[in-house]
Homo-oligomer: A and B are copies of this chain.
Amino acid sequence: VSTAGIIIIGNEVLSGKVEEENARFLTKELRTLGVKLMRVTIIRDEIEEIASEVKHHAAAFTHVFTTGGVGGTHDDVTFVGVARAFDLPIIRNSDLERLLIEHYKDRINRHVLSMADLPEGSDLIGLGVLPYPLVRVRNVFVLPGVPSFVRAKFDVLRAMLKTTPFVLRQIFVRVGEDAIARVMTDVQNEFPDIEIGSYPRFDTDEYRVKITIEGRDGGRVQAAVARLVERLEQSWVVRMA
């Protein structure tokens, strides 16, 4: 099973000045690809914090995605943080340097060129395909902060990440969690490989709780659904999906 962590880097998100869109986009994409998302962290543009969070995620998960902090201004410290997480020196990447010089021409300066300073051993993904390549450092994909750029760069990642998708079934019941808690616990214990969740709603009359049953093995998901339906009172079930 391939797992992932997302690290959103940016004071502007924490201070509420910018609405967070990238975590939401990546969460949906990873779900579609069948990658199990384990953790999302939103942190400040601080080198030590980035380093410690990246180190933790990179050791624990198959893939790590960071967004933000990769421009050429004073608060763009993501690459320095990622380098520190892996104890790598920062060196100038000549492919990126060339791209930047081509793009900025006579407006080039040392702040812009600092965008080509990467942790040693970084891979450039999509070089020649994307207007600006995606940088990978070990298992960490370093994405920009601008949402439209994240989406464009993710297009080249889909094929690399594809795995077995999840199967999700849902049972909507007209009773509260109090009535179904024991059945859910029992069935969860019987199907430890299936994830069973319950989500109460109070803003609709149609149902009170949505039960979700999810896993990678469609047969096992179906078996867990059947066991739940068998154990719930028939009149409680509003509908299934």
Query: Contact flags (1/0) for A5-42 with B, using CB distance below 8 Å?
Result: 00000011111111110011001101100001111111
State the CA gap A28–B13 with chains docked (Å): 10
Q: Are B185 and A73 in contact (CB under 8 A)?
A: yes
Q: Which residues of B contact A146 (CB under 8 A)?
A: 200-202
Q: Which of B41, B107, B178 contacts A111 (CB 8 A)?
A: B178
Q: Are B182 and A17 in contact (CB under 8 A)?
A: no
State the CA gap A107–B178 with chains docked (Å): 8
- The 8 A-B pairs at the shortest CB distance, nearest first, are namely A111-B181, A40-B42, A16-B31, A74-B185, A112-B178, A14-B37, A16-B27, A73-B181
Q: Are B178 and A72 in contact (CB under 8 A)?
A: yes
Q: Which residues of B contact A109 (CB under 8 A)?
A: 178, 181-182
Q: Which residues of B contact A30 (CB under 8 A)?
A: 16
Please, could you name 12 A-B residue pairs with CB atoms under 8 Å apart, sorted by A?
A15-B27, A15-B37, A16-B27, A16-B28, A19-B24, A40-B42, A41-B42, A71-B177, A73-B181, A74-B196, A75-B198, A108-B178
Assess A202 versus B111: contact at CB under 8 Å? Given A12-B212, A177-B73.
no
Give A149's nearest chain B residue, CB to CB: B202
Q: Are A14 and B27 in contact (CB under 8 A)?
A: yes
Query: Contact flags (1/0) for A36-53 with B, using CB distance below 8 Å?
Result: 111111111000010000
Query: Contact flags (1/0) for A123-152 with B, using CB distance below 8 Å?
Result: 000000000000000000000001010000
Chain B min CB distance to A79 (Å)? 15
